[in-house]
Chains A and B, each alone.
Chain A
Protein backbone atom coordinates (compact mmCIF):
# COMPACT_ATOMS: atom_id res chain seq x y z
CA UNK A 1 0.00 0.00 0.00
CA UNK A 2 1.09 3.58 -0.64
CA UNK A 3 1.44 5.45 2.64
CA UNK A 4 0.75 9.15 2.91
CA UNK A 5 2.32 11.12 5.76
CA UNK A 6 1.04 14.60 6.49
CA UNK A 7 2.93 17.27 8.40
CA UNK A 8 2.31 18.80 10.71
CA UNK A 9 -0.34 16.69 12.45
CA UNK A 10 -1.74 19.84 14.02
CA UNK A 11 -1.22 23.52 13.49
CA UNK A 12 -2.29 26.68 15.30
CA UNK A 13 -2.68 29.80 13.19
CA UNK A 14 -4.47 33.13 13.12
CA UNK A 15 -6.98 34.61 10.72
CA UNK A 16 -5.07 36.13 7.84
CA UNK A 17 -2.07 33.81 8.15
CA UNK A 18 -0.61 31.90 5.22
CA UNK A 19 -0.56 28.18 5.99
CA UNK A 20 1.09 25.26 4.24
CA UNK A 21 0.40 21.57 4.85
CA UNK A 22 2.66 18.89 3.40
CA UNK A 23 1.79 15.38 2.24
CA UNK A 24 4.57 12.89 1.48
CA UNK A 25 3.96 9.63 -0.35
CA UNK A 26 5.93 6.44 0.21
CA UNK A 27 6.45 6.21 -3.56
CA UNK A 28 5.84 8.38 -6.60
CA UNK A 29 2.14 8.94 -7.25
CA UNK A 30 2.29 11.17 -10.34
CA UNK A 31 -0.65 13.60 -10.29
CA UNK A 32 -3.03 11.35 -8.34
CA UNK A 33 -3.11 13.44 -5.18
CA UNK A 34 -6.21 15.17 -3.82
CA UNK A 35 -7.06 17.32 -0.79
CA UNK A 36 -10.18 17.32 1.41
CA UNK A 37 -11.44 19.47 4.27
CA UNK A 38 -13.43 17.96 7.12
CA UNK A 39 -15.30 19.77 9.87
CA UNK A 40 -16.51 18.04 13.06
CA UNK A 41 -19.49 15.79 12.47
CA UNK A 42 -19.42 16.33 8.71
CA UNK A 43 -18.21 14.38 5.72
CA UNK A 44 -14.98 15.41 4.03
CA UNK A 45 -15.30 17.93 1.23
CA UNK A 46 -13.15 17.92 -1.91
CA UNK A 47 -10.98 21.02 -2.21
CA UNK A 48 -8.34 20.19 -4.80
CA UNK A 49 -7.92 17.28 -7.20
CA UNK A 50 -5.02 16.14 -9.34
CA UNK A 51 -2.49 18.11 -7.26
CA UNK A 52 -3.58 21.61 -8.22
CA UNK A 53 -7.07 21.72 -9.77
CA UNK A 54 -9.51 23.67 -7.64
CA UNK A 55 -12.91 22.03 -7.20
CA UNK A 56 -15.84 24.17 -8.34
CA UNK A 57 -16.97 26.55 -5.62
CA UNK A 58 -13.79 26.33 -3.54
CA UNK A 59 -12.27 29.74 -2.74
CA UNK A 60 -9.14 30.70 -4.63
CA UNK A 61 -7.18 31.16 -1.39
CA UNK A 62 -6.73 27.37 -1.51
CA UNK A 63 -4.02 26.07 -3.79
CA UNK A 64 -2.08 22.86 -4.28
CA UNK A 65 1.28 22.00 -5.73
CA UNK A 66 3.89 19.28 -5.88
CA UNK A 67 4.94 16.25 -7.83
CA UNK A 68 6.28 12.76 -7.37
CA UNK A 69 6.25 12.14 -3.64
CA UNK A 70 5.89 15.59 -2.06
CA UNK A 71 2.82 17.76 -2.22
CA UNK A 72 1.54 20.87 -0.46
CA UNK A 73 -1.78 22.50 0.28
CA UNK A 74 -1.56 26.24 0.85
CA UNK A 75 -4.18 28.57 2.26
CA UNK A 76 -3.06 32.06 1.36
CA UNK A 77 -5.03 34.01 3.96
CA UNK A 78 -6.83 32.00 6.62
CA UNK A 79 -10.50 32.73 7.15
CA UNK A 80 -12.59 31.72 10.18
CA UNK A 81 -14.35 29.05 8.08
CA UNK A 82 -11.03 27.33 7.29
CA UNK A 83 -10.40 25.93 10.77
CA UNK A 84 -10.89 22.21 10.16
CA UNK A 85 -8.98 19.00 9.53
CA UNK A 86 -7.35 18.51 6.14
CA UNK A 87 -6.61 15.18 4.47
CA UNK A 88 -4.64 14.21 1.40
CA UNK A 89 -5.63 11.12 -0.62
CA UNK A 90 -3.83 9.23 -3.37
CA UNK A 91 -5.43 7.31 -6.23
CA UNK A 92 -2.29 5.99 -7.93
CA UNK A 93 -2.11 2.57 -6.30
CA UNK A 94 -4.86 -0.01 -6.63
CA UNK A 95 -5.77 0.68 -3.00
CA UNK A 96 -6.55 4.35 -2.52
CA UNK A 97 -5.32 5.72 0.79
CA UNK A 98 -5.59 8.84 2.92
CA UNK A 99 -3.11 10.72 5.04
CA UNK A 100 -3.65 10.80 8.78
CA UNK A 101 -4.92 14.38 8.72
CA UNK A 102 -3.76 17.84 9.78
CA UNK A 103 -5.91 19.64 12.33
CA UNK A 104 -5.86 23.39 11.84
CA UNK A 105 -6.80 25.28 14.97
CA UNK A 106 -7.26 28.91 15.88
CA UNK A 107 -4.32 30.48 17.72
Chain B
Protein backbone atom coordinates (compact mmCIF):
# COMPACT_ATOMS: atom_id res chain seq x y z
CA UNK B 1 0.00 0.00 0.00
CA UNK B 2 1.10 3.52 -0.72
CA UNK B 3 1.35 6.30 1.84
CA UNK B 4 -0.45 9.56 1.17
CA UNK B 5 -0.08 13.04 2.67
CA UNK B 6 -2.27 16.08 1.98
CA UNK B 7 -0.97 19.63 2.06
CA UNK B 8 -2.48 23.04 1.41
CA UNK B 9 -4.13 26.04 3.05
CA UNK B 10 -6.45 25.37 5.94
CA UNK B 11 -8.44 28.58 5.41
CA UNK B 12 -10.01 29.71 2.14
CA UNK B 13 -12.18 32.77 1.57
CA UNK B 14 -15.66 32.40 0.08
CA UNK B 15 -15.73 32.49 -3.74
CA UNK B 16 -12.03 31.64 -3.93
CA UNK B 17 -10.35 28.39 -4.99
CA UNK B 18 -9.49 25.54 -2.63
CA UNK B 19 -6.23 23.87 -3.67
CA UNK B 20 -4.77 20.74 -2.08
CA UNK B 21 -1.90 18.45 -3.02
CA UNK B 22 -1.42 14.80 -2.14
CA UNK B 23 2.13 13.45 -2.01
CA UNK B 24 2.47 9.78 -2.80
CA UNK B 25 5.20 7.59 -1.33
CA UNK B 26 5.80 3.89 -1.56
CA UNK B 27 4.50 3.84 -5.10
CA UNK B 28 4.13 5.83 -8.29
CA UNK B 29 1.16 7.79 -9.57
CA UNK B 30 1.86 6.17 -12.93
CA UNK B 31 1.61 2.63 -11.64
CA UNK B 32 -1.39 0.68 -12.74
CA UNK B 33 -4.50 -0.28 -10.76
CA UNK B 34 -5.13 2.91 -8.79
CA UNK B 35 -7.59 5.74 -9.07
CA UNK B 36 -6.01 8.70 -7.28
CA UNK B 37 -9.01 9.99 -5.39
CA UNK B 38 -10.32 12.89 -3.35
CA UNK B 39 -13.00 12.35 -0.71
CA UNK B 40 -14.32 14.89 1.75
CA UNK B 41 -16.17 14.64 5.04
CA UNK B 42 -18.51 17.46 5.91
CA UNK B 43 -21.03 17.93 8.70
CA UNK B 44 -23.80 18.26 6.16
CA UNK B 45 -23.14 15.33 3.84
CA UNK B 46 -20.83 12.97 5.69
CA UNK B 47 -18.31 11.14 3.49
CA UNK B 48 -18.57 12.32 -0.11
CA UNK B 49 -16.67 11.15 -3.17
CA UNK B 50 -15.29 14.18 -5.03
CA UNK B 51 -13.48 12.60 -7.97
CA UNK B 52 -10.38 10.86 -9.20
CA UNK B 53 -7.71 10.64 -11.86
CA UNK B 54 -6.46 7.28 -13.04
CA UNK B 55 -2.93 6.19 -13.87
CA UNK B 56 -3.86 6.69 -17.53
CA UNK B 57 -4.99 10.28 -16.89
CA UNK B 58 -8.72 9.76 -17.21
CA UNK B 59 -10.83 11.61 -14.69
CA UNK B 60 -14.23 11.27 -13.04
CA UNK B 61 -15.99 13.91 -10.98
CA UNK B 62 -19.09 13.81 -8.83
CA UNK B 63 -21.94 15.32 -10.86
CA UNK B 64 -22.81 17.68 -8.01
CA UNK B 65 -19.28 19.16 -8.03
CA UNK B 66 -18.27 18.62 -11.67
CA UNK B 67 -18.57 22.27 -12.69
CA UNK B 68 -16.14 23.34 -9.95
CA UNK B 69 -13.64 20.47 -9.60
CA UNK B 70 -10.36 19.60 -11.26
CA UNK B 71 -8.10 16.70 -10.26
CA UNK B 72 -4.67 16.62 -11.86
CA UNK B 73 -1.43 14.69 -11.51
CA UNK B 74 2.23 15.70 -11.58
CA UNK B 75 4.25 12.62 -12.44
CA UNK B 76 7.59 14.37 -11.92
CA UNK B 77 6.68 15.22 -8.33
CA UNK B 78 4.71 12.01 -7.79
CA UNK B 79 1.71 13.84 -6.45
CA UNK B 80 -1.85 14.65 -7.44
CA UNK B 81 -3.93 17.71 -6.74
CA UNK B 82 -7.45 18.99 -6.16
CA UNK B 83 -8.84 22.35 -7.15
CA UNK B 84 -12.35 23.37 -6.12
CA UNK B 85 -13.49 26.76 -7.33
CA UNK B 86 -16.08 29.21 -6.03
CA UNK B 87 -16.14 27.73 -2.55
CA UNK B 88 -18.81 28.46 0.04
CA UNK B 89 -19.21 27.58 3.70
CA UNK B 90 -20.80 24.31 2.60
CA UNK B 91 -17.39 23.23 1.32
CA UNK B 92 -15.90 23.37 4.82
CA UNK B 93 -14.73 19.97 5.97
CA UNK B 94 -11.93 17.45 6.07
CA UNK B 95 -10.49 16.57 2.67
CA UNK B 96 -8.85 13.19 2.20
CA UNK B 97 -6.70 11.99 -0.63
CA UNK B 98 -6.94 8.28 -1.18
CA UNK B 99 -5.96 5.44 -3.45
CA UNK B 100 -8.82 3.42 -4.89
CA UNK B 101 -7.72 -0.01 -6.05
CA UNK B 102 -9.38 -0.89 -9.34
CA UNK B 103 -6.93 -3.59 -10.32
CA UNK B 104 -8.67 -6.05 -8.04
CA UNK B 105 -11.91 -5.39 -9.87
CA UNK B 106 -13.57 -4.33 -6.62
CA UNK B 107 -12.81 -0.59 -6.50
CA UNK B 108 -12.19 -0.01 -2.81
CA UNK B 109 -10.07 2.57 -0.99
CA UNK B 110 -7.07 0.84 0.53
CA UNK B 111 -5.03 3.88 1.58
CA UNK B 112 -6.03 7.28 2.94
CA UNK B 113 -4.12 10.43 3.78
CA UNK B 114 -4.45 11.73 7.31
CA UNK B 115 -6.95 14.39 6.16
CA UNK B 116 -6.72 18.16 5.73
CA UNK B 117 -9.22 20.38 7.50
CA UNK B 118 -10.29 23.22 5.21
CA UNK B 119 -12.44 26.03 6.52
CA UNK B 120 -14.20 28.44 4.18
CA UNK B 121 -14.56 31.77 5.92
CA UNK B 122 -13.82 35.43 5.35
Which residues in window 94-111 of B have CB below 8 A to A? 96, 100, 104, 106-110
Contacts of A98 in B (CB 8 A): 46-49
Bound-complex Cα distance A43 to B63 (A): 24
Closest-by-CB residue of A relative to B114 is A43
Q: Which of B63, B107, B112 contacts A44 (CB 8 A)?
A: B112
B112, A96: Cβ atoms under 8 Å? no
Q: Could you mark each residue 59-92 of chain A with 1 if its beta carbon is under 8 Å from any beta carbon of chain B, else 0?
A: 0000000000000000000000000000101010
Chain A residues within an 8 Å CB radius of B109: 34, 36, 44, 46, 89
CB < 8 Å neighbour of A43 from B104, B107, B115: B115
Residues of B within 8 A of A97 (CB): 49
Task: Count A-B pairs with CB separation below 8 Å.
Answer: 54
Nearest CB on B from A2, distance (A): 11
Instruction: Provide the residues of chain B in CB contact with A32, threshold 8 Å.
Output: 106-107
Taking the complex as formed, is A50 at the interface, i.e. its CB lies under 8 A from any CB of chain B? yes
Give the total of A residues in contact with B, Cβ under 8 Å: 23
Interface residues of B in 32-70 (CB under 8 A from A): 46-49, 60, 62-63
Q: B93 an interface residue at 8 Å Cβ cutoff? A: no
With an 8 A cutoff between CB atoms, is A55 at the interface? yes
Contact check: which of B63, B107, B110, B114 meets A91 at CB < 8 Å? B107
B residues in contact with A87, CB < 8 Å: 47
List the 3 shortest-distance A-B pairs measured between CB atoms, nearest first.
A91-B107, A43-B112, A98-B47
- CB within 8 Å of B: which A28-63 residues: 31-32, 34, 36, 42-46, 49-50, 53, 55
Expressed in whole angstroms, the minimum distance between the Cβ of B12 and any Cβ of chain A is: 21
Indicate whether A12 reaches chain B with its CB closer than 8 angstroms: no
- Give CA–CA (A32, B109) in the complex, Å: 12
A100 within 8 A of B: yes
